[in-house]
Amino acid sequence: MQTQKTLPRELVPGLFWLGDCLEQKTAGKIYHTYNAAYLLVGTNACAIVETGHPKDFPLISRQLDGLLPGLPPLKYLFVTHQETPHSGGLGRIMHKYPEVLLCGDMCDYALAFPQFAHRMVAMKGGDEIDLGGRALRLVEPVIRDLRTTWWGFDTQEKVLFPADGFAYSHYHEDGHCGMCAEEAISLDIPEVSAVFADRALFWTKFTDMNIYIDRLQWLLDTLEVKAIAPTHGLPIMDPALTVPRIKEGLLYGSAVAEMGPDAGGLAADPMEKRVIERI
């Protein structure tokens, strides 16, 4: 078994991975994934990317308390879209940090948090948040969860924040918690990404994913992405090595018929059976 890493963890200079595992029961076993948040540090300001799952806010709050002293002021919060695992801590972050501006697609946020409406900044693709020495840019969301989704990009270290675009679980028993994808050497990424797509991005099974794969590669090449910080999944520090394995999982989902439970309570699809047995 590998040694688990603890969060927060600095992935590249000035980028900290926050949060904790989300444990879900599947066929009597524990299925681990992340609803991660990130702290991006510039010379003039800091920004939070995503808010984590609602259950994680007390932990993320403590992690921020340990990181922010001595850093530039926290001024911005960017949330990729309005789904709870991404925006569930929004109100509490805005309350705790009264100078923070919420940035991104603002659809419906003012209805849920009218008291913060004056601190909401609508942005679209190509717009940037200047942190000093680096910017957080909104870029094309190749794989969307909601129509309001935007992805983020750190212009300094070339890190992509793809929301649900690189979503997969990991093996708790193998010590993968807190690791980067390349450190989790026993993780079968094609299998776990295929299962995650089946459960969270069900539409991928009913469209030609080659179109999305090609566009995703175009985005990675155009931005010269050096690392990927997904909301659900272990951070990817070597895209050339790991992204092809993610693509394999996404393509698998669109190549099979709809999955469903069998008489034994496991998925009828053999790939998902292997994943459940593995975790």
Q: Tokens 């949330």 appear where?
A: 79
Structure tokens at 216: 């995703």
Give pLDDT tens digits for 41-77. Answer: 999 999 999 998 888 899 999 999 999 999 999 999 9
pTM: 0.87
The percentage of residues in the chain with a pLDDT greater than 70, rounded to a whole number, is: 86
- Compute the distance between CA of residue 199 and CA of residue 86 in angstroms, rounded to an integer: 17
Q: Please give the CATH superfamily to which domain 9-278 belongs.
A: Ribonuclease Z/Hydroxyacylglutathione hydrolase-like (3.60.15.10)
User: Residue ranges of the domains in the chain?
Assistant: 9-278
Quote the radius of gyration of the chain (alpha carbons, Å).
18
Q: Is residue 279 pLDDT above 50, yes or no?
A: no
Q: What is the pLDDT of residue 257?
A: 38
Q: Is residue 26 pLDDT above 70, yes or no?
A: no
Q: What is the pLDDT of residue 113?
A: 96
Structure tokens at 134: 């680096």
Q: What is the pLDDT of residue 258?
A: 45
